[in-house]
Structure formats: structure tokens, C-alpha cells
Structure 1
Amino acid sequence: MPASPSTARAINDRLALRLLQQEGPLTAGQLKQLTGLSRPTVADLVERLTACGLVEVVGESGEQRRGPNAKLYGIVADRAYLAALDVRTEGVSVLVSDLLGRVLAEASAPIGGGMGTGAAVEQAVGLVERVAKEAGADRPHTVGIGAPGLIDPASGELRVSSGLPAWHRRLVAAVQERFPEARVSVENETNLAALAEQREGAARDRDTFVLLWLGMGIGAAVVLDGTLRRGASGGAGEIGFLPVPGTAGLPSATDCDGGFHSLAGASAVVALAAAHGFAAPAAAHEPQAAALVRGAARAADREPAAARFLDALAERVSLGAAAVVSVLDPGCVVLAGEVGRAGGDTLAARVRDRLARMSPLPTEVRPGALGGGAVLRGALLTARDRAQDELFAPPGR
């Protein structure tokens, strides 16, 4: 059944806007070539999008001939401002961008464990407000929040967790109250990291992969056939609870101690380095575990202690990776988070070699390209997608 005229216009408009988003300013002639639409159809859609304030003339092409087709059309970047938050146990990071994703302002703030829930929420929301004002965006159109923990698939809200501070769950409602007109959403941090790595990082050429987050906590994100899979309860990828050999016990429903977290979490990585006699200078810009792994990756060819430490860490990481590979056969595992990024190709190669011995399923192992910033970038991409879905809808819908 052929599409109705209004549906066809909506499809054409979105196609043109996506091209302008990806390629930058284009002439009407270039839009015609890239979309395959007729010249009158392109002229009509440019007129519609200009009239509703989504597109504007930003210059002229280098063509000698002047006329409508020589005008360069671009998205009106300040039509909407976007805010992204990366919420951690010990603090929060915020950035604000325009509709094109250009970062206008950003900042981070620690939130001490001794701070009360109300004060912690106010400090976090106040940071969002301050960064938004610095960016000239008193009213962000869309806010994307990345947080540890499970997201209820029915309500879209952060579920109660005994392992997370109370201010986390209060934060989403507080942001919505401070910015009542904004569209606010929250997503698991590891899922957002996978989205960022898929769109802009190590998994750009993969429709199916698993991202293994190695940092203060342990998590995984599953992308199958281009779609993020959250599971029936939103808990797909809670690999920190995975029972593995080499721990002192078994995890429980409320505590991942005894699970994979006990082998590959940040505190376990620090203890493992000490057990193998490897030390590295502290780095002000990254956690101790990441600094140790980065130092070992750089020194592995000349320092036996560094090589032994990395080998032992790779053995541990491969246990969790092998369990995921045997069930999902993703073909690719991305080692992300501060520790995964710090290990780089050196750690990834060690994990890949061990996986090849443990599993008959061929699996690439790659270091994440975006490091600890992947969560914030994923939150921004999510916010931008939501804003575009609304703003790029047919005019007058």
C-alpha cells in the first residue's frame, strides 16, 4: 500500500534532516542527489523545514552559478539545547550541547558519601543548572541521564538498589522538577557506553557485539542485530553477579561479592597488581586501577611484573567474557570503562588469546575507544535522538 502524501512528506523531511545532521550544510542539489528525490520535492521540503525553523541558509556553495541550488542549508543548531549527565556513586558529570551535538559547556562535581540525600540531589541538580546557564541554555529541551543500576522497562525509572546511594533515585525527579518542560530520561550507564561505542567508537562496524565495562563496577551491554537488548526486567548484562571460579564464595541477590565483580572490579585489580609486585605512579586524572593497568600495558615488554599482572588480569577477564560468548556468540567483545580503555590493545590481545583457547566461537576483542567518557557521550546521543524525534516530526503534527 503506497504511503499517503503526509506520510511521504514526513519520511522525506526526516531523511533530509538526518543527512544535514550527518553531512553538514548541503545545497538543494546535493540533497536531491543524496536522497534520490525530484527537484520539486526537495524544493518543497526545504521550504517546509525553513518555515518551521529547523533549517536555515548558512551560506553558498563554491559553484559559479548562483541561484536556489547554490544556497547551503543547515540545521538551526540552537533550536534545541541538550543536557547529558553521567551519575556515579561518588559524583556527577554534566555537559550541554546544541542540536548538532557540539559541546557548549561541561563540568563535574564530587558528591561525598557523608552528604545527606537532599543536599546531594541539590548539588547535582545545581550543577546541571549552572552548566546549562554557561551554555546559554536556561531551558534544555532534552536531558539524558546515565546511572548505574537497573532501569524498570515498564516505567523507565531507576529501580531501588541497596548498593547505590539514595540520591541517585531522587535525581531524575528533581531534574524534571527544576526543568519542567524538558524531556528527561534515564538509562543504565553500560548500555549508554555501548550506544556510544556503536555510533562513534570501537564497534562502529558491528551490528552485534557485547561491551564489557571494567571500572569501579562491572557490567555488560548486549547489542544484537543493531538493537540494544535490556532483558525482561532491564537486567541484561549484570555480569558482576556471574558466578565464576576463583572467588571465595557465591554472589547473592543483593550482593555481587563472590561473583565476577570480585575478580575484575577496580578493588580486585588493585589487589592483583600488588600480589604480582607491580606498582605504577598515581595519576590525578584517572582511578588507581586504571593507572595500574595503563602502566602495566606500557611496561609489559620490559618488566616481568607488569607482564605477570596483565596475564593474570586477562585470565580473570576472559572468564566473564567466555560465559557471554558461549551464550550469545556476539563475534566481538569491547573492553570498555576506565580499566578496559587503559589496557588498550595489550590487554585486549591477551584476553583474545585466552578466549580462543576456551571457546570454539571466533571472537574479536577490542579496547573501547571512548574510555570513561563513553557514558556521558551515550547520554548525549540519547538526548539528541529524542529531541530529533520530536523536532523532526512533520510540521503541524
Structure 2
Amino acid sequence: MPASPSTARAINDRLALRLLQQEGPLTAGQLKQLTGLSRPTVADLVDRLAAAGLIEVVGEAGAERRGPNARLYGIVAGRAHLAALDVRTESVSVVVADLLGRVRAEASAPVAEDAGTGPAVERAVALVERAAKEAGAVPLHTVGVGAPGLIDPATGELRDSTGLPAWHRRLVAALQERLPARVLVENETNLAALAEHRDGAARDRDTFVLVWLGLGIGAAVMLDGVLRRGASGGAGELGFLPVPWTGGLPSATDCGGGFHSLAGAAAVEELAVRHGLTAPAGADVELRAAALVREAVAGADGAERADADGGPGPDAGGFLDALADRVALGAASVAAVLDPGCVVLAGETGRAGGAALASRVRERLARMSPLPTEVRAGSLGGGAVLRGALLTARDGAQDDLFAPAER
């Protein structure tokens, strides 16, 4: 059954808007070439989108061409302002951007463990409000929030999770109450995967698994370009995976004894110290573990080095090998169940290990699994969650703003 004229116009308008978002400013002629639409149809949609305030003339395509056919059209970036939050156990970071995702302001603040729910929420919300005001982005249209924990697939809300501060759950409601904005919340690991898929190490892969190695352990599953969250939102809870060498089993409320006990930050620090590396003072366990991995990558030579007193020095290579043995267990489990073809190592530990850790895990995985699986280091580092949250906010805002073209 052929589409009605209104439906056809909506499809054409959305196609043009997506091309302008992806490619940047285009002439009517370029839109005609990229969409395959006729010249009159393109002229009509350009007029419609300009009248709706969604696109505007932003220049001309070359000095040798003048007149209407040379006009460059671009999305009106200031039509909506976005914010993205990365909510950690003891801190929050925010970026404010325009509709094209260009960052206008950014800020971060610590949130003390003993701050209390009310003061912690107030500190986080005030940070967003100040950043938006600094960027001249008031009111905000859409806010994307990345947080640890499970997201209920039915409601889109952050579920109660053991081990996480109470202010995390209260924060989303407070943002909705204080800001005239749509608030979208997503698990931090899923957001990192979205960012690596759009802009990072998995740009060429529509099916892959991102393994998050940080304070905790998690995974994000991307199949055919779609994030898979599972029936309860718990797909990728890799920290609860039963594995050998832990001396126990995880429980429904505690991932101790699971893969977390082998590859979480505390376990990584303990393993590094066992191989003679010295943890830096004054940092939290996640940052200490990452610093130890970076030190090992910088000094790994596969053999013990003598220290200043002539004794055996840190065994950086041995530490990285032992860490790769552990990470490969989780990667092999993922490969056996999902056959993703590609595993991306992210989080503070994955970022610190980089290509050196990824190559070691790849070698072990090739021996453990008959399924060909690439292992790559994430390329976006610590900014992956914020980037993913911003992409989520931008997608949500564009879906809303571009909707009038569908009616």
C-alpha cells in the first residue's frame, strides 16, 4: 500500500534532517543527490523545514556559484539545548551542548560519601543549572543521565541497587522537578557502548560487546546496532558471572565470588601489588588500579627488573599477563553465549591497559574459544559515558523537534 502524501512528506523531511545532522550544511542540489528526490520535492521540503524553524541558510557553496542554488542549509543548532550527566558514586560531571552536540559548557563536582541524600542531590542539580546558565542554554530541552545500576525497561527509571548511594535514584526525579526538560536515564556501560559505536572503537561494528573494567564490572550488548537490555534491564551484569579462582560464588545481592572478584578495581590493585607494583597514595581504589595498569604498560618487558638495591623489581609483564588471564575468562563467556565477533575493553582499567592489555586478552581468547573474536581497546576513555549521554539527549531532542515534520 503506497504511503499517503502526508506520510511521504514526513519520511522525506526526516531523511533530509538526518542528512543535515550527519553531513553538515548542504545545498538543495546536494540534498537532491543524496536523497534521490526530485528537485520540486526538495524545494518543498526545504521551505517546510525553514518555516518550522528547523533549518536556515548558513552560507553559500563556493564563490563561483551565486544565487538560490548555491545556498547552504544547516540545522538551527540553537533551537534546543541539551545537557549530559555522568553520575559516579562520589562525583558528578555535566556538559551542556546545542542541538548539533557542540559543547558550550562543562563542569564537575565531588559528592562526599557522607553528604546525605538531600545535599548530594542539591549539589548535582545546582551544577547542571549553573552550567546551563553559563552556556546561555536556559531552558534545557533534554537531559541525558548516565548512572551505574539497572534501568527498568518498562519505566525507564533507575532501579534500587545495593551498594549505590540513595541520592542516585533521587537525582533523576529532582532533575525532572527542577528543570523544564525531558530527562532520559541510561546505564553508564550502555552509554559507553553507544559512544564507542558512534564515535569510537566500534564504529565499524553493529554487533559487539563492551566490557567495562572499573570500580565494578559490567558489559553492554549491541546486536545489529541495537542495545539489548534484557527482560529486567540486567543484560551484561558480568560481575555476577560465576568463575574459578575466587573461592566462592556470587549471590543475588552480592557479586563477591563472581567475575567482579577477579577483575574489579580492588582485585586488580591486589594483583598488581602481588607482582611488586606500588599503588599510588591518596587516590580512590579505581584510580589506583588504573594507575598501576598504566605503570605496568609503560614498564612491561616480560621480565623482572632490578630495583635500586639490586633486588627483584616489579614484574610488570607478569602482572599484565595475569590480568589478561582474568579478563579473558569474562570475554570467553561473552563470546560463547553471544558470538559478538568483537569485544571492546572500556572503563578506567580497560582505558589504562589500552592496546597492550587488549592484545594479551585477544591471544588468550583465541586459544579458549573457536569463535573468531576481535578484542579492542576503547578509544574514548573516561569521556565515553558523557559522550553517550549527550548522544542520547541529542537523539531524544531531535526525535521530538523533528516530529512536526511527520504530521
In the superposition, the TM-score normalised over structure 1's length comes to 0.97
Aligned to 1:321: 331
Aligned to 1:26: 26
Aligned residue for 1:287, secondary structure, equals helix
CA distance in 2, matches of 1:271, 1:190: 24
In structure 2, list runs of 5 or more residues that go unmatched. Answer: 305-314
Aligned to 1:204: 203
Aligned residue for 1:234, secondary structure, equals coil
Deviation of 1:59 after TM superposition, in Å, equals 0.9
Aligned to 1:290: 290
Aligned to 1:350: 360
> What are the within-5 Å matches in structure 2 for residues 190-201 of structure 1?
190-201=189-200
Aligned residue for 2:83, secondary structure, equals strand
CA distance in 2, matches of 1:227, 1:395: 25
CA change 1:355–1:74 in 2 (3 A) is same
Aligned residue for 2:136, secondary structure, equals coil
Aligned to 1:378: 388
Deviation of 1:267 after TM superposition, in Å, equals 1.0
Deviation of 1:162 after TM superposition, in Å, equals 1.8
CA change 1:254–1:332 in 2 (3 A) is same
CA distance in 1, matches of 2:2, 2:356: 54
CA distance in 1, matches of 2:26, 2:384: 30
Aligned to 2:218: 219
1:103 alignment partner AA: V
Write the deviation string for residues 22-64 of structure 1: whole angstroms up to 9, x where unpaired: 1111111111111111111111111111111110111111052
CA distance in 2, matches of 1:209, 1:283: 36
Deviation of 1:394 after TM superposition, in Å, equals 3.2
Mapped contact 1:91–1:108 kept (Cα < 8 A): yes
CA distance in 2, matches of 1:65, 1:277: 68
Mapped contact 2:302–2:318 kept (Cα < 8 A): no
CA distance in 2, matches of 1:65, 1:156: 50
CA distance in 2, matches of 1:378, 1:63: 38
Deviates more, 1:347-356 or 1:57-66: 57-66
Task: Say whether residues 1:273 and 2:283 are aligned partners.
Answer: no
CA change 1:280–1:249 in 2 (3 A) is closer
Aligned to 2:92: 92
Aligned to 1:2: 2
CA distance in 1, matches of 2:39, 2:211: 47
CA distance in 2, matches of 1:71, 1:254: 60
Aligned to 1:185: 184
Mapped contact 2:7–2:406 kept (Cα < 8 A): no
Write the deviation string for residues 58-81 of structure 1: whole angstroms up to 9, x where unpaired: 111105232211011111100000
1:343 alignment partner AA: G
Deviation of 1:393 after TM superposition, in Å, equals 1.6
CA distance in 2, matches of 1:65, 1:173: 53
CA change 1:302–1:254 in 2 (3 A) is closer
Q: How many residue pairs align between the two structures?
A: 396
Mapped contact 1:314–1:347 kept (Cα < 8 A): yes
Aligned to 2:372: 362
Aligned to 1:12: 12
> What are the within-5 Å matches in structure 2 for residues 1-397 of structure 1?
1-62=1-62, 64-179=64-179, 181-279=180-278, 287-301=287-301, 304=304, 305-395=315-405, 397=407
Write the deviation string for residues 284-314 of structure 1: whole angstroms up to 9, x where unpaired: 8981111111121122137531100100000
Mapped contact 2:32–2:42 kept (Cα < 8 A): yes
CA distance in 1, matches of 2:95, 2:191: 15
Write the deviation string for residues 86-140 of structure 1: whole angstroms up to 9, x where unpaired: 1111111100000000000011111011111000000010111111111111211
Aligned residue for 2:247, secondary structure, equals coil
CA distance in 1, matches of 2:406, 2:295: 57
2:117 alignment partner AA: T
CA distance in 2, matches of 1:22, 1:338: 30
1:114 alignment partner AA: D
CA change 1:283–1:16 in 2 (3 A) is farther
Mapped contact 1:283–1:291 kept (Cα < 8 A): no
Write the deviation string for residues 347-389 of structure 1: whole angstroms up to 9, x where unpaired: 0000001111111111000000111211110000000000000
Mapped contact 1:82–1:383 kept (Cα < 8 A): yes
CA distance in 2, matches of 1:110, 1:8: 50
Write the deviation string for residues 151-174 of structure 1: whole angstroms up to 9, x where unpaired: 111111111112110000000000
2:380 alignment partner AA: L
| RMSD, aligned α-carbons | 1.5
CA distance in 2, matches of 1:65, 1:193: 43
Mapped contact 2:273–2:279 kept (Cα < 8 A): no
CA distance in 2, matches of 1:371, 1:44: 44
Deviation of 1:221 after TM superposition, in Å, equals 0.5
CA change 1:138–1:124 in 2 (3 A) is same
CA change 1:243–1:69 in 2 (3 A) is same
CA distance in 1, matches of 2:63, 2:11: 29
1:391 alignment partner AA: L
Mapped contact 2:11–2:406 kept (Cα < 8 A): no
CA distance in 2, matches of 1:386, 1:153: 16
CA distance in 1, matches of 2:85, 2:303: 39
Aligned residue for 1:330, secondary structure, equals coil
CA distance in 2, matches of 1:260, 1:215: 12
